[in-house]
Structure formats: C-alpha cells, structure tokens
Amino acid sequence: MKAHRYADKGAYQKELEKLQEKILHVQQAYWHGKRRAVIVFEGWDAAGKGGAIRRLTENLDPRGAHVWPIAAPTPAEQGRHYLWRFWQRLPEPGTFAIFDRSWYGRVLVERVEGFAKPHEWQRAYDEINEFERLLTDDGVRIVKLFMHLSPDEQLDRFKERLNNPYKRWKLTAEDLRNRDRRPAYEEAIDEMFARTSTDQAPWVAVPADAKWHARVAVLRHVVDALAAAVDVAPPPLDPAVKKAMEKLLA
C-alpha cells in the first residue's frame, strides 16, 4: 500500500487550495512587476506531469500563464537548431511559460532512441547550460522539476490506463518501449542531473508514486522558488484611480 502524507482527501485538498492561492499571488506579483518565469516538467511516463500542471494552473489567470506541451519537432523545426522552437515559446514580461517536457529531450529521449547523434547530445549539456544562463542573467526565474516514478507504480498506472476507456488514449506503444529501456534512461537522467543542475537553475526530483503528495510538492516548490526575494504583496492603489473613485462615489 502506497504511503500518503495525508490522512484523507480533505486534508490534501485543504493544503492544495492554500498553495493554489499562494501561487496566484505570486503570479500577480510577476504580472505587476513584469517578471518572467520558466517552469520545466520532465519525468517518467505516467508520473503525473499533466495532473501536476493542471493543479498548478487551475486558479491562475490564463492571460499570465502558457502551457507548452512538447512533442516531436515538426519538419520545419527539424531543419533548425533544436533550441530554436523553445526560443519561440519563452515568456513575455509578466508571464509564466510552463513546459510539459522541454529542451532536455535532446539528452533524454533523443539520446536513448538514437534521434540525435552522440556528438550532438554530448555537446547539448553545455548548450543547455548556456541557454539557461542567458535567461537567468536576463532576469528569468527557471524552475526544473523531474517527477520520479518507481517501475512497479508505473506498471500499475499503465494497467489502469489500459482498463479505463477514458484513459486509454494516454497509453502508447512508445510508453511500453521506453519502459523496456529504463536502464538506458536512468543513465541518461543521472548524467542530465550531474551536468545541468546549476546554482541558477537546479533540478528538483519530486517523488511521484503518491499523486497527492507529488501535486502538493510541485506547488510548494514552485511557490518557494518563484517567491524567493520577490515582494508578493499587492501593489498600492493608484492615486489617480482612488481620486476618480472618490469623485464617482461622491
């Protein structure tokens, strides 16, 4: 039986809602301060990235957050440097860009599946570090989350998806093939952590066997990372607005 940090769903929901209110306040501070943030989700298939992203964005103002689901590059994107398509999706001032998978595909799936040549994925560690350094030097906050799932729990979730007509679309032959190559992916993930977890953009591994715990852990870390050294108090009332309102009420 999987251990949850919460005695019941009510306790989980209470903690979740408290953090969702906090991330809304952080978003408002970023909006008014014209700050930018990039939130990266990586992890094993069926680790709950989509569910965590839904809880993260549920109460956000949609004008200030954009979720980018990253799949295989299009033919037009394949003809350019692999980071090109991510430059097109960077956040505008005052907004969050949330990536459901990311440029780390170059050193994960593209490495393991042979889509990138060895010299291409080997040089990518330095390219990615420089890409992220350019962003952080320009004031962008980067939060990188890897959702870790044990092999046994992953198999249970695959079975659930197979047997649930409304979830079958989530299970693909690629998921099953990737599972067979888990040792190769583990090696790639370990090297990714070792070579791209920097002081400015560290990796955080989120235990994801327990969905409730993982969703709350994701929200808590994002709130802490984005609120650090940022004034999240609401902005003062515009004197001109105050004066006009007083005149209207009078």
3-state secondary structure 26-53: HHHHHHHHCCEEEEEEEECCCCCHHHHH
Categorize the per-residue pLDDT at 1 as very low, low, confident or very high, splitting at 50, 70 and 90. Answer: very low
Q: Is the pLDDT of residue 108 over 80?
A: yes
The span from the CA of 180 to the CA of 157, in Å, is 16
User: How many CB atoms neighbour CB 54 within 10 A?
Assistant: 12
Long-range contacts of 204-207 (CB under 8 A, 24+ apart): 204/143, 204/144, 204/145, 204/146, 205/146, 205/148, 206/43, 206/52, 206/145, 206/146, 206/147, 206/148, 207/148
180-233 pLDDT per residue, tens: 999 999 999 999 999 999 999 999 999 999 999 999 999 999 999 999 999 999
More confident residue, 28 or 4: 28
Any alpha helices (H) in 99-238, and if so which ranges? 109-112, 118-137, 151-163, 173-180, 182-196, 211-227
> Which residues contact residue 48 at a Cβ distance below 8 angstroms, ignoring those fewer than 6 apart?
147, 149, 208, 211, 214, 215
Q: Is the pLDDT of residue 68 over 80?
A: yes
Q: Mean per-residue pLDDT for 124-136?
A: 98
Q: Is the pLDDT of residue 4 over 60?
A: no
Categorize the per-residue pLDDT at 7 as very low, low, confident or very high, splitting at 50, 70 and 90. Answer: confident
Q: Report the share of the chain in percent with pLDDT over 90.
A: 88
Give the per-residue pLDDT at 8.
87
Q: Order of strands across the sheet with 36-43?
A: 65-69, 96-100, 36-43, 140-148, 203-207
Give the per-residue pLDDT at 88.
96
Q: Is the pLDDT of residue 87 over 70?
A: yes
Categorize the per-residue pLDDT at 5 as very low, low, confident or very high, splitting at 50, 70 and 90. Answer: low
Query: pTM for this one?
Result: 0.93
Q: How far is CA 144 from the centre of its chain?
A: 6
Contact between 46 and 157 under an 8 Å Cβ cutoff? The reply is: yes
The residues pairing with 138 across neighbouring beta strands, listed in sequence order, are none
What are the structure tokens assigned to 39, written together? 């939130």
Q: Is the pLDDT of residue 2 over 70?
A: no
